[in-house]
Amino acid sequence: MNVVRACWRLLLICLITLYTIIIGYIKLSLSSDKNKVKQNVAQRWSKRCLNILNIKLELERDVSDLPVGLIMSNHRSYLDVFILLSLFPSSIVAKQEIGKWPGIRHAVDLADIILVKRGKMSSMLDTMKNIKERLRNNKSVILFPEGKIGDTYLPGRFMNGSFLIASHLDVPVIPIALYYLDENDAWVGKVSFLSHFLNNMGKTKSKVKVKILNPISNQDAKLLSHITFKLIEQGVKELSTLRKVA
């Protein structure tokens, strides 16, 4: 039954993605504020996907009072993208490979996704340029400083490029700790996306705790990276403790 439900949900996500792309491009062609259209499309699409999967978020604070900045989170699953985009109408940094997925190429531009090729310096420089452009246009950017999905519930080593941007532009970093109450919801190891989805996304519902920490700024990039890491690490530990108490 769970596999059947997971298959049905995957089909619905594909259909809602196709619908969102078509309607999004129509709105984009008719609107004078294309940036606002892109923000709304990405946020609504993510909320619909979470509803289809029946993923319930437990937030510890309101997000409406947060400033524009770099939104940084630990990375545990492909679901992290849905979660963060549903909360923040922002651009997001993702690996270049997703631009090659079927049907995703058009969504990349519509959702204002910044693609980066790991290990290629020219791509990294272009990514930094694109992040600066969004921030200067008063638009937040979501990224995962680990650069990949981690194999443990605690964050792994952070990459420093995004912190150089934050310190240079003097924009705040908004640290976020994500914790999946069912550890199987996290995508780890060498399990394929399809296998993980069919095995874990057929449950009646899933719960994710989201701890949004206070924005921080520092002109020392290394210190900013260290502080952000410690805050997210501590946030994840606190959320895991609350789970055990509950």
Q: Which residues pair with 72 in a beta bridge?
A: 143, 175
- Using the Cα atoms of residue 89, residue 92, residue 98 and residue 100 in order, give the sign of their dihedral: positive
Determine contact, residues 185/221, Cβ cutoff 8 Å: no
The larger pLDDT score, comparing residue 45 to residue 150, is at 45
* pLDDT band of 114, cuts 50, 70, 90: confident
Query: Looking at residues 19-47, what average pLDDT do you find?
Result: 87
Q: How many degrees, rounded to 5, is the angle at CA 245 between CA 187 and CA 74?
A: 30
Q: What is the pTM of this model?
A: 0.88
Can you give the pLDDT at residue 100? 59
**Alpha-carbon span 147 to 94, nearest angstrom:** 9
Mean pLDDT, range 51-80, rounded to an integer: 90
Range of the domain at 232: 2-245
How many distinct structural domains can be found in the chain? 1
Residue 222, domain CATH: 3.40.1130
